[in-house]
Amino acid sequence: MDIENIKKELKLEIDKERYNHTLRVVDIAKRLALVYRIDEKKVELAALLHDCGKYKDIDVLLKKVEEFGIILDIISKNNHHLIHSHLGAEIAKKKYDIVDEDILNAIKYHTTGRRDMSILEKVIFIADYIEPERDFDGIEDIRKLAFEDIDEAIIVSMENTIKYIIDKGLLIHPNTISTRNSLILLRNKNRRSWSDRQ
């Protein structure tokens, strides 16, 4: 299915607000793709489909999960906001014929992240986080950082998310912790390697 046909289908499947959000994420993701030299078509597909499983009606959401045979972990069962990314990956595969595992993983992990994310996964994650309608303290700094050091931008965004989740008394998905920790370990390793060469 080509991009224009996917857009037509999405307009029927998700509400107008979510669709407009999706287009903003596509725009940011394509700009990031140029900076990080990754395949623009893959980026566009992943960004376009990242929220294809985000249904507002929780009954519809859970029915789709059952239809696609998705087994939810205990955190997702208790935080329905996390479900749409796993559902989206299944919809992308079965409805939109996406077979590229990197694109599917970018959709699947765009909410929680995961350890050892690919550059495509990182781009979709941060594009969703910094799209122009997001407005909270520190967002402009993260937007700037995303185009300079994507790993650092994700670390900062993860830390903001973790603080928010704690303040709300919600459960933190282990993938979110793993993402932050793996990126910090990588950053520290790179800094040591740099200082060793001095």
Residues 87-115: pLDDT tens digits?
Answer: 999 999 999 999 999 999 999 999 999 99
Does position 56 have pLDDT exceeding 90, yes or no? no
Rounded to an integer, the average pLDDT of 145-169 is 96
Rounded to an integer, the average pLDDT of 21-49 is 98
Does position 137 have pLDDT exceeding 80, yes or no? yes
Rounded to an integer, the average pLDDT of 186-196 is 74
pLDDT at 158: 95
First to last CA, the chain: 51
**pLDDT band with cut points at 50, 70 and 90 for residue 192:** confident
**pLDDT band with cut points at 50, 70 and 90 for residue 193:** low
The domain total for the chain is 1
pLDDT at 195: 54
State the residue range of the domain holding 12: 3-197
pLDDT cut 90: percent of the chain above it: 87
Mean per-residue pLDDT over the chain, rounded: 94
Worst-scoring range by mean pLDDT, 82-91, 120-129, 184-193?
Answer: 184-193
pLDDT at 189: 86
CATH number, position 28 = 1.10.3210.10
Q: What are the phi and psi torsion angles at 97 (to 5°)?
A: 60, 35
Helices and strands in the chain, H and E counts = 11, 0
pLDDT cut 70: percent of the chain above it: 97
**pLDDT band with cut points at 50, 70 and 90 for residue 197:** low
Rounded to an integer, the average pLDDT of 127-145 is 95
Residue 105 and residue 121 in contact, taking contact as beta carbons nearer than 8 Å: yes
Q: Give the Å distances, CA to CA, from 96 to 2, 26, 86, 182, 190.
A: 9, 17, 15, 32, 39
Does position 194 have pLDDT exceeding 70, yes or no? no
Does position 119 have pLDDT exceeding 70, yes or no? yes
